[in-house]
C-alpha cells in the first residue's frame, strides 16, 4: 500500500515532494518497530488494516500519536468499523477512516495538510468524527479510473534494498490487474469493492509488474483480482506470466488466484495454461456450499455452482488436482444440508482436499450489518484463528492479534448443530479426502449404488458411535469443539498426546488421520466387519478393505524396498477407471486376478499433473525420507511429509502401483 500511495502521489499528482519514511511491514512490538524512526517527526501516518493486524496497527497509531501529537492518522482496509458510533471514542489516536481505494483520498489529505488544514470534511471517501465524536461520512470516495504506473517499478530502489538481504525465491508478492467485483456475497468485503464495476489496469502496467516480479526471483504471486478470468484479456495475462516465468528460470515459482465464477471456458483455458507450465498445479473450486437455498441466504445465488463444477471436471480430465473451498456455518445452513454438501462433492467425482473455513463476520461485509445479524439471530464467538493445519504448541495467542467473529449459531442451526457440522467436516477431511476409506466409499457408490451421504452417516453416526475405539476418537473431537466454543484462548487444533515429542497441534481432521494410522490394523479390522455387516456384501469387499489398508502410506513404508501385497481382483485398474467418475456413472466389478500381487514403488508423494513437458510433480509433493529414523522421530517425519499439507489420496496413498502378472488385454 505504501508503494501504491507514494507512486500515485509522485507520478499522477506531482507537486510538492514529501519525505516518505520506509514502511513498517513486519509484525512485532510497536516500540521496536518504530525504533528505527526514533527522532524523526511523523506528520501523517497511513495504516492498512485487516483482522490479523488491527490491534497492532492501533498500537502503532497510539505510539506515533504519543510521540507526535500533531500527526494525522488515517486508517483504511476492511477492518476499521466505520458503522460503529463509538469508533473514534474507542480509538482516539485515529483521525479518519478511508473507505474503498485510497490513492485519491490520501493524496487529498496531503493537499490539505500542506496548507495547514486539518478539517477533512470536504475530502470525499472518509469517515471523520462529527461534533459528538460519531463517524460521519464525507461523501462517496472518488476512485481512480486509470492505473498507469507500476508501484514495483517506481519504488524498485526501496524493494531492491530489502531483497538484497534475502535469499532469491524466499519472498512473495501481490499482483493486481484489475479492481472491483460484480458480486455481493454477504460474507465478503473484497477491498470494499464488492458490487462494483471492474476497472482494468493498463496492460502496459500489468506487463511491467510481471516483468519486475520475474526478474526479482519471487516465490509466490498472490493474484489480488477477485475474479481472474472474467475479462477476455486475462488469458493473455496468464500467457505473459508463463512466458516471464520461462525466461526467468522458473520465477515466480507459483501463483495463487481466485477464478471467475461464471466464465467456465475462459477459466479452464487459464487453469490449463497455469497447470501446463507448473506455476499453478492445484485448481480452487470456490463454491462455499453446494445447495442453492444456502447460497441464496448468503447472496451468492447468482454464482453458478454447476458452472464452477464444469470447470473442475475439465481440470480433472487434464490431471489437475482440485481444492474445494467451503464455509462452515453459513446462516441458512443445517446439519442435513451440510452433510449433503459434502456428499454432493463426492457425487460430482471430487474427492480431494475440502478446505473448510469458519464463517467470519468481517466488520464491513453485509453479513455484519445489524439487519443481517438480527434477521438470522446470528450467534458468534471471538477466536484468534490459526488457519494453518498445524500450530506450534509453544505459540501463544498474541495480545496484539484481533480475534475473528465466528458464526456458531443462527435461526437455522444452533451451537450443538455447529459442533456436529464441524465433526462431519473433520471426519470427511480426515478419512475421505486423505484416502483412508475413500476407495471403499467409491466402490460402494459406483458398483453397489450406496450414496456417499448414506455411507458417511452410517460411518460417523453408526460405527464411530458404537465401536469403542472409534467412538473414543469421535468423542475427543466433539469435546474439542465444545471446549473451543467455551474457551476464547483455544484455536481449532488438538494436541497429539500419543506422540509426546511432537511439538505441534493439529487440526482435528489431521489429528484423526494420525490417530487412525497409529491403530491402523485394529481400525481396519473393525471397518471390514462393519462394511460386511452393514452393506451385506461378499468377500470382494473384504479384499477391498485390505487393499485400502495396504495402499495407505505409513511410517513403516520404505521407499528403497517399496511394498508388495496380494490381491484377487484388479483394484488398481478399477480405481483408475473410477477416478473423477460421477456417482450416477456406475462401474462394474473389478476383473478377477487370482494369485496376483501389487507392487508399489513410490519414493515421494505427488499429485501427477500433466504439464507441457510431460507429467510433473504437484506443488505439495514431498519425499518419503524417514528411512533412517525410528520410533517417534520416524512418526514425526511422516507427519511432516504427509499430514501437514493438502489432504489428498494421491498424497496419502501409494500411487505407483503395478499388478503382476499383468492382466491380459
pLDDT bin (cut points 50, 70, 90) of residue 125 is: very high
- CA 196 vs CA 178, 244, 505: distances in Å: 12, 31, 41
Q: What is the mean pLDDT of the chain?
A: 91
Q: Pull the grid cell for residue 47.
A: 495504516
Mean pLDDT of 43-62: 93
566-603 pLDDT tens trace = 999 999 999 999 999 999 999 999 999 999 999 999 99
Q: How much is the pLDDT for 345?
A: 96
Q: Which CATH architecture has domain 2-137?
A: 3-Layer(aba) Sandwich (3.40)
Q: Is the dihedral of CA 317, 318, 321, 322 positive or negative?
A: negative
The answer for 384, left when phi > 0, alpha when psi is -120 to 50, beta otherwise, is: beta
Q: Pull the grid cell for residue 580.
A: 473423477
pLDDT bin (cut points 50, 70, 90) of residue 336 is: very high
- 494-495 vs 504-506, strand pairing mode: antiparallel
Most confident of 54-58, 185-189, 413-417, 542-546: 413-417
> Nearest-CA neighbor of 623 among 640, 605, 639?
605
Predicted TM-score (pTM) of the model is 0.89
Query: What CA–CA distance (Å, rounded) separates 279 from 555?
Result: 31
> Nearest-CA neighbor of 612 among 247, 232, 279, 282?
279
Q: Pull the grid cell for residue 503.
A: 511439538
Q: How much is the pLDDT for 536?
A: 82
Q: How much is the pLDDT for 386?
A: 64
- For residue 617, the SS3 value is coil
Kindly give the interhelix angle for 415-427 and 468-486, rounded to the nearest 10 degrees. 130
Residues 6+ apart with CB under 8 A from 33: 24, 26, 60
> Nearest-CA neighbor of 452 among 465, 439, 463, 464?
439
Q: Pull the grid cell for residue 107.
A: 493524496
Q: Pull the grid cell for residue 630.
A: 525410528
419-456 pLDDT tens trace = 999 999 999 999 999 999 999 999 999 999 999 999 99
Q: Give strand pairing partners of 599.
A: 564, 658
Q: How much is the pLDDT for 190?
A: 66
Tell me what percent of the residues of the chain surpass a pLDDT of 70.
93
Query: What CA–CA distance (Å, rounded) separates 178 from 162?
Result: 26
605-623 pLDDT tens trace = 987 655 555 555 666 789 9
Other C-beta atoms within 10 Å of 533: how many?
Answer: 10
Q: Pull the grid cell for residue 110.
A: 496531503
Q: Give strand pairing partners of 199.
A: 179
Q: Half-sphere exposure (CA, 13 Å, Cβ side) for 224?
A: 17
CATH 3.30.750.210 in the chain: give the residue spans. Answer: 153-320
Query: Does domain 153-320 match CATH 3.30.750.210?
Result: yes
CATH 3.40.50 in the chain: give the residue spans. Answer: 2-137
2-37 pLDDT tens trace = 999 999 999 899 866 789 999 998 888 999 999 998
Phi, psi for 35 (deg, rounded to 5): -55, -40
Q: Half-sphere exposure (CA, 13 Å, Cβ side) for 186?
A: 24
**H helices of 146-250, where?**
151-154, 156-163, 203-215, 234-247
Q: How much is the pLDDT for 388?
A: 62
132-170 pLDDT tens trace = 999 999 999 999 999 999 999 999 999 999 999 899 999
Q: Is the pLDDT of residue 479 over 90?
A: yes
- For residue 565, the SS3 value is strand
390-420 pLDDT tens trace = 666 666 556 456 788 999 999 999 999 999 9
**CA-derived radius of gyration, the chain:** 27
Residues 6+ apart with CB under 8 A from 250: none
Residues 6+ apart with CB under 8 A from 207: 240
DSSP type of residue 143: -
Taken as a whole, the chain contains a residue count of 665
Strand ranges (E), 237-369 = 254-256, 283-288, 322-328, 354-358
Query: What CA–CA distance (Å, rounded) separates 274 from 252?
Result: 12
Query: What CA–CA distance (Å, rounded) separates 105 from 125?
Result: 6
Query: What CA–CA distance (Å, rounded) separates 268 from 256?
Result: 15
Higher-pLDDT residue of 78 and 385 is: 78
Residues 6+ apart with CB under 8 A from 474: 423, 427, 460, 464, 465
- 220-223 vs 254-256, strand pairing mode: parallel
Q: How much is the pLDDT for 52?
A: 83
Q: Pull the grid cell for residue 213.
A: 516480479
Residue 288 near residue 246 (C-beta atoms within 8 A) = no
> Nearest-CA neighbor of 544 among 589, 503, 603?
589
Mean pLDDT of 648-661: 94
Kindly give the interhelix angle for 520-535 and 539-551, rounded to the nearest 10 degrees. 150
Mean pLDDT of 79-97: 96
DSSP element (H, E) containing 441: helix 438-448
- 609-611 vs 135-137, strand pairing mode: unpaired
Mean pLDDT of 527-548: 90
Query: What CA–CA distance (Å, rounded) separates 388 from 217?
Result: 25
Q: How much is the pLDDT for 487?
A: 94
160-204 pLDDT tens trace = 999 998 999 999 999 999 999 888 788 777 655 555 789 999 999
Amino acid at each position: 500500500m505504501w508503494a501504491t500511495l507514494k507512486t500515485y502521489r509522485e507520478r499522477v499528482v506531482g507537486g510538492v515532494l514529501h519525505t516518505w519514511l520506509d514502511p513498517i511491514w513486519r509484525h512485532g512490538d510497536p516500540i521496536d518497530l518504530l525504533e528505527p524512526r526514533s527522532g524523526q517527526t511523523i506528520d501523517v501516518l497511513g495504516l492498512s488494516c485487516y483482522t490479523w493486524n488491527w490491534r497492532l496497527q492501533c498500537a502503532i497509531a497510539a505510539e506515533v500519536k504519543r510521540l507526535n501529537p500533531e500527526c494525522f492518522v488515517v486508517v483504511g482496509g476492511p477492518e476499521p468499523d466505520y458503522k460503529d458510533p463509538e469508533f473514534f471514542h474507542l480509538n482516539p489516536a485515529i483521525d479518519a477512516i478511508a473507505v474503498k481505494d485510497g490513492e485519491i483520498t490520501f493524496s487529498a489529505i496531503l493537499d490539505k495538510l500542506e496548507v495547514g488544514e486539518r478539517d477533512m470534511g470536504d475530502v470525499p471517501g472518509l469517515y471523520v468524527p462529527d461534533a459528538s465524536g460519531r463517524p460521519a461520512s464525507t461523501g462517496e470516495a472518488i476512485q481512480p479510473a486509470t492505473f498507469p504506473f507500476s508501484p514495483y517499478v517506481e519504488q524498485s530502489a526501496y524493494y531492491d534494498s530489502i531483497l538484497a538481504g534475502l535469499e532469491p525465491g524466499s519472498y512473495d508478492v501481490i499482483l493486481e490487474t484489475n479492481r472491483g467485483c460484480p458480486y455481493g456475497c454477504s460474507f465478503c468485503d473484497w477491498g470494499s469493492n464488492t458490487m462494483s464495476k471492474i476497472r482494468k489496469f493498463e496492460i502496459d502496467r500489468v506487463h511491467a509488474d510481471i516483468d519486475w516480479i520475474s526478474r526479482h526471483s519471487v516465490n509466490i504471486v498472490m493474484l489480488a483480482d477477485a475474479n481472474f478470468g472474467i475479462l477476455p484479456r486475462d488469458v493473455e495475462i496468464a500467457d505473459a506470466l508463463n512466458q516471464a516465468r520461462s525466461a526467468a528460470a522458473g520465477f515466480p515459482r507459483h501463483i495463487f488466484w481466485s477464478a471467475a465464477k461464471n466464465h467456465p471456458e475462459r477459466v479452464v483455458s487459464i487453469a490449463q495454461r497455469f497447470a501446463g507450465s507448473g506455476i499453478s498445479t492445484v485448481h480452487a473450486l470456490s463454491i462455499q456450499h453446494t445447495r442453492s437455498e444456502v447460497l441464496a441466504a448468503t447472496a451468492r445465488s447468482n454464482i453458478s455452482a454447476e458452472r464452477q463444477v464444469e470447470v473442475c471436471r475439465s481440470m480433472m480430465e487434464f490431471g489437475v488436482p482440485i481444492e474445494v473451498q467451503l464455509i462452515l456455518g453459513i446462516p441458512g445452513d443445517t446439519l442435513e444440508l451440510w452433510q449433503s454438501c459434502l456428499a454432493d462433492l463426492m457425487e460430482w467425482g471430487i474427492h480431494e482436499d475440502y478446505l473448510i473455513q469458519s464463517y467470519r463476520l468481517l466488520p464491513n461485509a453485509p453479513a455484519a450489518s445489524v439487519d443481517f445479524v438480527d434477521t438470522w439471530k446470528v450467534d458468534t464467538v471471538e477466536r484468534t484463528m490459526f488457519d494453518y493445519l498445524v500450530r506450534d504448541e509453544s505459540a501463544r495467542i498474541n495480545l496484539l492479534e484481533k480475534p475473528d467473529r465466528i458464526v456458531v449459531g443462527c435461526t437455522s442451526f444452533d451451537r450443538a448443530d455447529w459442533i456436529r457440522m464441524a465433526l462431519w467436516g473433520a471426519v470427511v477431511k480426515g478419512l475421505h479426502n486423505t484416502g483412508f476409506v475413500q476407495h471403499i466409499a467409491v466402490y460402494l457408490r459406483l458398483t453397489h449404488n450406496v450414496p456417499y451421504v448414506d455411507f458417511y452417516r452410517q460411518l460417523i453416526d453408526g460405527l464411530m458411535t458404537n465401536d469403542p475405539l472409534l467412538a473414543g476418537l469421535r468423542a475427543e473431537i466433539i469435546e474439542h469443539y465444545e471446549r473451543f466454543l467455551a474457551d476464547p484462548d483455544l484455536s481449532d487444533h488438538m494436541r497429539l498426546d500419543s506422540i509426546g515429542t511432537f511439538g505441534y497441534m493439529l487440526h482435528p481432521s489431521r489429528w484423526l488421520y494420525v490417530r487412525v494410522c497409529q491403530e491402523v490394523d485394529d481400525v481396519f479390522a473393525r471397518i471390514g466387519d462393519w462394511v460386511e455387516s452393514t452393506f451385506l456384501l461378499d468377500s470382494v469387499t473384504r479384499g477391498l478393505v485390505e487393499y485400502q489398508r495396504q495402499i495407505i502410506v505409513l511410517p513403516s513404508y520404505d521407499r528403497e524396498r517399496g511394498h508388495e501385497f496380494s490381491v484377487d481382483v484388479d483394484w488398481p485398474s478399477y480405481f483408475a477407471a473410477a477416478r473423477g467418475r460421477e456417482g450416477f456413472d456406475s462401474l462394474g466389478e473389478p476383473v478377477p486376478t487370482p494369485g496376483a500381487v501389487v507392487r508399489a514403488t513410490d519414493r515421494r508423494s505427488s499429485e501427477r499433473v500433466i504439464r507441457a513437458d510431460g507429467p510433473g510433480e504437484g506443488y505439495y509433493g514431498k519425499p518419503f525420507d524417514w528411512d533412517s529414523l525410528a520410533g517417534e522421530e520416524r512418526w514425526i517425519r511422516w507427519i511432516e511429509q504427509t499430514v501437514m499439507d493438502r489432504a489428498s489420496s494421491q498424497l496419502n496413498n501409494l500411487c505407483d502401483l503395478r499388478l503382476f502378472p499383468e492382466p491380459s488385454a
